Amino acid sequence: MKVLAEALIYAIQYIETSQPSDEDADVAALEMICATLQSATSEEKAIFELEAKRLGYPELSESLGIYQ
C-alpha cells in the first residue's frame, strides 16, 4: 500500500499542477481517485496520510476528504 499511496500522491500532484489541457478530464480523474480512496480501510488511509506528509504534502489527505 505504501508504494500505491506514493504513486497516487504523485499522480494527484501532477494533475493539480499540470497545464490544463482538458480541465474536465482532470477533475473527473481526481474525483475518481478520491472516490476510490474513500473505500480504503482505516489502516490504508493512515498509510496514505503518512506518505503524503513524508513527501511534503501534509494537507493532501484533508483536501481530498480522506483524513482520519
Q: Which three cell numbers stand for residue 2?
A: 505504501
Q: What is the dihedral of CA 58, 62, 67, 68, to 10 degrees?
A: 90
Q: What is the mean pLDDT of residues 34-58?
A: 88
Residues 5-31: tens digit of each pLDDT: 887 888 888 788 877 677 787 788 888
Distance of alpha carbon 62 from alpha carbon 49, whole angstroms: 9
pTM of this prediction exceeds 0.85: no
Cα–chain-centroid distance for residue 4?
Answer: 10
With vertex at residue 53, the alpha carbon angle to CA 24 and CA 42, rounded to the nearest 5 degrees, is 80
Distance of alpha carbon 32 from alpha carbon 26, whole angstroms: 10
